[in-house]
Each structure stands twice: as C-alpha cells, then as structure tokens.
Amino acid sequence: MNLILHRLKYFIVFSSICIFSAQAKDFPNKPIHLIIPFAPGGVTDIGGRYIGQQLSQKLGVEVYAENKAGASGNIGASFVANANPDGYTLLVGFDGTLVINPHIFEKIPFNTIKDFAPIGKIGDAALILLANPSLNAKTVKEVVALSLKEPNGLSYATSGIGVTPHIAGELLKQKTNANLVSIPYKSGGQALIGLMSGDVPLAFTNLAGASQYVDSGQLKPIAVSAKNRVTSLPNVPTFIESGFKDISVMSWIGILAPAKTPRPIVLEINKALNEILNSEQAKEKLSGLGIIITPTSPEMFAEQIKVDLSLYEKIVKTAGIKAP
C-alpha cells in the first residue's frame, strides 16, 4: 500500500512538472491582459502602459492594458486575484492597494500574500512635500514649528484617504509631533489645484505630477521622501537631509500574477521585465515620471511586500486611518 501511494505521489509530482514545463514552453501564445486598477493618467497608469508596450515586443504577443478602477484599486486587484493563473492576466500592482488598503478597509476582496504571485517590481516613485508660495516656511523644521503655532494645525492635501501621500503625512506627524491635518481630494491633480489656489497651505503628492509646478515657481518644494535626492529636482533636499532620518517613504509599482501561476511562467515574465528595466530607454522614460527603476527577482519583490504590509499596519493603526 505504501509503495502504491509513493508511486502515485511521484506520478502526480512528475505530471505537474511536465505540465508546468509545457505551459512555460508554449507561453505566451495569445494576448496578455495587463490590468491597471486606476483611472487613466496617473503614474501607475502611464508607467504600467509603457511596460505593457515593451512586454509586447519582448514576449512577441499583444499586451493589452485595461483600466479597472474603483475602491482605491481593490476592484482591479480582485479581478486579477480571481483570474485563471496561466500568466495571461497580470496586475500593475501599487503599494497603496496591496499593502495599505488591507489595513484601512474593514473588508477587502483579496489577500495580498495568498492571492498573488509577485513577478517583479518596476520601481519606486518619490513623494514630495510642497507648500503654497505664501506659506512662511522653507524647510521641514520650519513647517513643523509653524504647525505647532497654529491652534487648528496646518492642513495638507492628498489624493485620498489611506494613499501613500496620506501615509507619508501621518508618518511626519508621528515622528515630529507636528500639528498637521490631512485634507483628502479625489486625485493628486485636484490636490495640487487646491494647493495652488491657496485652499490648503501644504500638499503631499507624487513627484511626477508636481515637478512642472516646482520648475515654474508656482509651488514651493520643502523636501522629497526618497533616501537620496532625485535627479529631476536636484536642489530639493530629502527629509533625511533635513534632519529627519526616520522619514523615507517611497511609493512603488510592480507586476503580479494570480497565485498558483506556474513558476516557469513567472520567471519568463520576470526575465522580460528586467531586460526592459535595464534598458536606457526605460530608464529615461520612467525617470521622467519620477520612478526610480528597481529590477528585482520575484522573491525580492515578495519579501518587500511582506515587510511593507507590517510597516504600514503600524502607521495606519497609530493614525487611526479608516476608509470612508
């Protein structure tokens, strides 16, 4: 009986290996759908579409980018989590959706760890703290000091509740005891409009959407959240340089597949993705969006997701952030 069970187990394992090998050998042989869980126009959308176009050339099949927006990215992410794990439905993953949403939504239609197979990270996008030119503060320390003098605090605009810029603002509050009040807008663009009009004195936002307003002098840069200065705004200091060593927040995007996608297929897509990211064309294109390219293995990406889930859980719980 034991011998029969042993042979059956061997047969199942051997058959699975053969099936996976055949799938990888034949992959891809039809179009791939790349799901972007946000509306068109943002960094995740533009960066994801570019990667999709390049994957089409590398893999030899059409890669169709499709926007499935809603519920802070939960709708698109859930769609991929429940898709057939064959490598033909992929997700442009965003840290806000995958490692922050699980802590701010009472119920969420996916499990970040169990429902996805990380393929590789595309890169990190720096955030920037901006001020209306009329604000009497030029540095982070001056912003903190000014906030403590205001009975109602200083308000800062973000692109929504629980998004990475909101988390960055809460982290600044927690590390400095600054009296800051988050004002959520429907998008990063609307947050910047509110800042430029003077409705709010500060804003935390993605660097890509803000650079043009800094260059034109319409908005005043205070600090960037990267560990090192960013090439597009070399004169803007980091929070670390400004004396706050514990404040470094980067928003990332990457590619994921449904869980149980055969490993040979995951590795095939990872290889193509990293070849794209190591090209000068990709570096130029993505750096223009404020994205610092960070090619990784599936294992490295998976580990960062686990670490960030734990990191953001602490920040969210301390701040008491809940989705509306």
Contacts of 275 (CB under 8 A, 6+ apart): 58
Dist. CA 127–CA 166, nearest whole Å: 10
**271 or 251, which is more confident?**
271
For residues 184-189, average pLDDT: 85
3 has pLDDT over 80: no
For 138-150, the pLDDT digits (tens) are 999 999 999 999 9
For residues 97-109, average pLDDT: 94
Query: Which of helix, strand or coil describes residue 237?
Result: coil
Domains delineated in the chain: 2-124+251-319 (3.40.190.150), 126-224 (3.40.190.10)
Q: What is the pLDDT of residue 80?
A: 98
Q: What is the pLDDT of residue 2?
A: 54
**Within a 10 A sphere around the Cβ of 319, how many other Cβ atoms?**
18
Dist. CA 48–CA 302, nearest whole Å: 19
CA torsion sign, 156 to 160 to 161 to 166? negative
**Residue indicated by tokens 């952030």:** 321
13 has pLDDT over 50: no
For residues 250-279, average pLDDT: 96
Rg (CA), the chain: 22
Dist. CA 32–CA 34, nearest whole Å: 6
**Residue indicated by tokens 């935390």:** 204
Dist. CA 324–CA 321, nearest whole Å: 9
Query: Which of helix, strand or coil describes residue 220?
Result: strand
